[in-house]
């Protein structure tokens, strides 16, 4: 069997959080599971699903420990699967990036994200990959909590499938062509075609939607 990866989407459990900006990690894993026709099953410290791609296996984990204690679930599953740090990829939301911007890194600091910080504490390491999904920071002073725990706008919801597709393809690329080349693709925003390239029907994304 090929390599196994633990892919963690960060979020908070409960219907009241389902469509919130802070649950971007959950949304992306839900999209991957749906496109792969697999279902999440409730297991220890989270909901888990498995998908395969070109001989590689991806264990998708949505921690049930709530955001600030995400590390407890990640540590348990890393130990259970007996995986090296380089086979862990964490997906989180990020206030410091414009909505729709993606940043993949092979390692790094938490950037003030409580979920990432707790994972680093529990694993006693920051040497694991993360993909930060920009949610923007369109809030007034003192409104950060309400913003991240607020629902996505309709316009933002419409962009989630394309965002999920890019993230998923990036993770698959990590397993096939390596982290550096995957980063080069994920961290490049899709270019918009000029109107004349679309027969005068207005701009469309120049990025083909990869298979999920």
* Contact between residue 119 and residue 71 where contact means Cβ atoms under 8 Å apart: yes
Catalytic residue chosen out of the listed positions 6, 20, 21, 22: 22
Closest CA to 85 of 119, 49, 131, 51: 119
**What span, in angstroms and rounded, lies between the C-alpha atoms of 103 and 12?**
21
Asked if 22 is an active-site residue, the reply is yes
Kindly state the tokens that stand for 165: 């597709």
Bridge partners, residue 134, by sequence: 94
Kindly state the tokens that stand for 36: 């792969």
**What span, in angstroms and rounded, lies between the C-alpha atoms of 52 and 211?**
13
Q: Is 147 exposed, middle or buried (CB count within 10 Å of its CB: 0-12, 13-18, 19+)?
A: middle
Instruction: For 162-198, give one letter per residue: b (16+ CB within 10 A) or e.
Output: ebbbbbbbbbbbbbeeebeebbebbeeeeeeeeeeee
Q: Which residues lie closer than 8 Å to 9 by C-beta, 6 or more apart?
A: 24, 25, 26, 27, 28, 29, 60, 61, 62, 91
Catalytic residues: 22
């Amino acid at each position: 069997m090929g390599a196994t990866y633990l892919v963690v989407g960060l979020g908070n459990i409960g219907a009241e959080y389902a469509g919130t900006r802070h649950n971007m990690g959950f949304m992306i894993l839900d999209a991957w599971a749906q496109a792969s026709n697999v279902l999440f099953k409730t297991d220890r410290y989270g909901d888990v699903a498995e998908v395969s791609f070109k001989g590689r296996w991806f264990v998708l984990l949505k921690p049930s420990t709530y955001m600030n204690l995400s590390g407890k679930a990640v540590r348990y599953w890393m130990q259970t699967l007996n995986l090296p740090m380089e086979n862990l990829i964490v997906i989180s939301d990020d206030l410091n990036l414009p909505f729709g911007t993606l940043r993949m890194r092979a390692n790094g600091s938490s950037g003030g994200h409580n979920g990432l910080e707790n994972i680093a504490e529990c694993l006693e390491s920051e040497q694991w990959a993360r993909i930060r999904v920009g949610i923007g920071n369109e809030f007034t002073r003192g409104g950060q909590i309400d913003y991240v725990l607020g629902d996505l706008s309709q316009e933002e919801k419409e962009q989630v499938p394309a965002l999920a597709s890019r993230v998923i393809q990036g993770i698959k690329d990590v397993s096939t062509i390596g982290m550096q080349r995957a980063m080069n693709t994920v961290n490049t925003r899709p270019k918009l075609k000029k109107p004349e390239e679309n027969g005068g029907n207005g701009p469309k994304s120049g990025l083909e939607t990869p298979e999920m």
